[in-house]
């Protein structure tokens, strides 16, 4: 591609990045805290594209015969196939990829790791907790801070090969490429029919029941479910509170 074409591609990339940052689409790719850097990158790309076009403008306006022509006075044409590089940009602009879900969760071992500590839990009944917080306290604090408390946990459903349900949240450090699942087994009053990738809000209590993840052998704690209800997928499908 010549510089004009490169500038157009830069402009499209910058525009796609800004669109993702302003619409929330970026949450499919990176954690929310990276939004300012993403927006800054989009602005820089668009500025670079505009600067490139401005730099090329005098060369095509002053009659320079070499600006648009190659050796021998013939116009130099880039292969049209190079414009196929633009197609992924339109895919980014027009298509929102789904968040990682049950298939990835059940083919990846639980990523639960020991938390830095167990701060006192606030009052509330039921007490809202994320999947990683409940799992960390259940496994590494042996449920001491969870006993005699009703908790409310939200995640998506994943089923193992035997149909056993797990409540899962994909945890990430930076971006979707490093996302890993944290899983909670469900027991008690479980709905009779559960579909993978359905988001469920469950209320229940701590139980000592545990199992080993067949992928990797990590420990998966259980939650004794007393009630549950389907909920819409959250705006940010990933759990950023994980300190893995």
Q: At 19, list the tokens.
A: 């669109």
Asked if 127 and 68 sit in the same domain, the reply is no
Burial group, residue 121, by CB count within 10 angstroms (0-12, 13-18, 19+): middle
For residues 119 and 117, what is the distance between their CA atoms, to the nearest angstrom?
6
Is 70 within a domain? yes
The sign of the dihedral angle between the CA atoms of 225, 229, 231, 233 is positive
H or E, element range at 10: helix 3-23
pLDDT at 70: 46
**154 located within any domain:** yes
Residues 191 and 75 reside in one and the same domain? no
Can you give the pTM of this predicted structure? 0.69
Answer yes or no: do 234 and 115 share one domain: yes
Regarding whether 117 and 86 lie in a shared domain, the answer is no
Residue 131 falls inside a structural domain? yes
Pair 33, 87 in one domain: yes
pLDDT at 173: 73
Of the candidates 94, 122, 157, which is a domain's last residue?
A: 94
In a domain, 180, yes or no: yes
Structural domain including 31 reads 3-94
How close are the terminal C-alpha atoms of the chain, in Å? 43
**244 within a domain of the structure (yes/no):** no
Q: Which residue has the tokens 């083919």?
A: 107
Residue 133 resides in a domain: yes
Indicate which CATH number applies to the domain containing 143.
Answer: 2.40.50
Residues 6+ apart with CB under 8 A from 69: 75, 76
Q: Which of these, 190, 222, 226, 240, lies nearest to 30 by C-alpha position? A: 240
Other C-beta atoms lying within 10 Å of the C-beta of residue 63: 7
pLDDT for 212? 93
Q: Do residue 79 and residue 152 come from a single domain?
A: no
- Backbone conformation region of residue 72, classed left if phi is above 0, alpha if psi is from -120 to 50, else beta: left
Residue 60 shares a structural domain with residue 167: no
Are 60 and 162 in the same domain?
A: no
Residues 59, 170 within the same domain: no
- The answer on 88 and 9 residing in a single domain is yes
Mean pLDDT by groups of 10 residues along the chain of 244 residues: 74 78 72 77 84 72 49 54 66 67 89 87 93 94 92 95 92 74 95 92 96 91 96 80 52
Q: Is residue 11, in this structure, part of any structural domain at all?
A: yes
Give the whole-angstrom CA distance, residue 177 versus residue 107.
15
Predicted pLDDT at 88: 67
On whether the CB atoms of residues 233 and 208 are closer than 8 A, the answer is no
The token duo for 168 is 């899962």
Q: Are residues 114 and 234 in the same domain?
A: yes
Same domain, 128 and 215: yes
How open is the CA angle 85-103-237, to the nearest 5 degrees?
Answer: 75
Residue 126 in any domain: the answer is yes
Query: Which residue among 63, 94, 125 closes a domain?
Result: 94
What total number of domains does the chain contain?
Answer: 2
At which of 66, 94, 122 does a domain end? 94
């Amino acid at each position: 591609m010549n510089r004009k074409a490169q500038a157009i591609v830069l402009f499209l990339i910058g525009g796609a990045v800004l669109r993702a940052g302003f619409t929330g689409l970026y949450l499919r790719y990176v954690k929310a805290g990276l939004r300012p850097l993403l927006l800054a990158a989009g602005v820089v790309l668009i500025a670079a594209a505009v600067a490139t076009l401005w730099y090329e403008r005098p060369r095509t306006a002053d009659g320079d015969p070499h600006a648009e022509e190659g050796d021998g006075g013939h116009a130099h044409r880039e292969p049209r196939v190079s414009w196929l590089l633009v197609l992924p940009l339109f895919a980014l602009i027009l298509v929102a990829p789904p968040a990682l879900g049950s298939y990835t969760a059940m083919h990846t071992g639980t990523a639960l790791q020991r938390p830095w500590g167990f701060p006192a839990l606030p009052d509330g009944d039921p007490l809202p907790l994320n999947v990683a917080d409940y799992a960390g306290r259940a496994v590494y604090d042996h449920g001491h801070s969870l006993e005699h408390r009703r908790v409310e946990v939200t995640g998506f459903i994943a089923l193992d090969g035997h149909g056993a349900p797990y409540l899962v949240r994909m945890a990430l450090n930076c971006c979707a490429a490093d996302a890993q699942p944290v899983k909670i087994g469900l027991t008690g009053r479980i709905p009779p029919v559960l579909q993978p990738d359905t988001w469920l809000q469950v209320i229940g209590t701590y139980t000592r029941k545990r199992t080993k993840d067949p992928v990797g052998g990590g420990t998966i704690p259980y939650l004794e479910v007393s009630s549950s209800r389907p909920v819409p997928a959250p705006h940010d499908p990933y759990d950023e509170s994980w300190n893995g």
